[in-house]
Amino acid sequence: MTELTAMFAVRPDDVIKLIAAFLVGLMVGAEREYHDKAAGMRTITMISVGAALFTIFSVRIAGDKETGRIAAQIVSGIGFLGAGVIIQRRGQVIGLTTAATIWIAAALGIGMGVGYLLFTFLAAILFIVVLAVLPRVERGLQLAHTMRTYRITLVADPAKPDRLQKLFADSGLSVREETRTKGKDSIGLLWSVRGKPQAHHKVCMAMLADPEVREFDH
């Protein structure tokens, strides 16, 4: 009878941990779902709750001494899941943020499973701030430092490239990489230029109006 009672016994603290893991997974997953990411509300919530369950079970079965080993196994398993969402396309790596979200969701679940409720909630809020706010900061930084490649064909005037470079500098642009080629009656330039979009636009207008610029592409 005692064993049967223990089998159906529910520990209130375990219930609280499970609900807490569900809530943090739901919070993070809702943010991902709002931005239409591959790992959305259901996936992130299941990962968080699953990690919490594994942690709770490990504590109940093997005791606190084995919790670290179980947590390490969870991290290894989540690593394979995260690797599945990373895609390489046209020289770009896509899905790193989604993989990191899966990894963090598991960490939040483990945190709830061992009972660090307040600390884990704080970590979840900070992570949501990272997901929601930092992309806007990144876009602002990218706009302030847009990189463009300019292909320019000029008349055969050796001083013209230096005058163009001064135009770029005066407009707030900086030439990071430069290649010059010389033809019979022309000079070819290939420049990688960095700066604000407004500055790029200003230079483009000046190049289009310059009679010494034969061809121009960017």
Residue-wise pLDDT tens digits, 131-146: 888 888 877 776 667 7
Residue reference for tokens 């930092």: 134
pLDDT digits (tens, 9 = 90+) for 108-127: 999 998 889 999 999 999 99
CA angle 137, 143, 146 (to 5 degrees): 130
Best mean pLDDT range from 40-49, 63-72, 133-142: 40-49
Percent of the chain surpassing pLDDT 70: 84
Q: Which residue has the higher pLDDT, 92 or 193?
A: 193
pLDDT at residue 125 in the model? 93
Cα distances from 60 to residues 6, 73, 114, 147, in angstroms, run 12, 17, 11, 56
The pLDDT value given to residue 65: 62
Handedness of CA 167, 173, 176, 181 (dihedral sign): negative
- pLDDT at residue 17, as a whole number: 93
User: What mean pLDDT do residues 201-208 have?
Assistant: 85
Q: Does the pLDDT of residue 195 top 60, yes or no?
A: yes
Distance, in Å, from the CA atom of 119 to the CA atom of 192, rounded to the nearest integer, reads 46
Domains in the chain, CATH or no CATH each: 11-143 (no CATH), 145-217 (3.30.70.260)
Report pTM.
Answer: 0.63
Phi, psi angle pair for 86, to nearest 5°: -90, 125
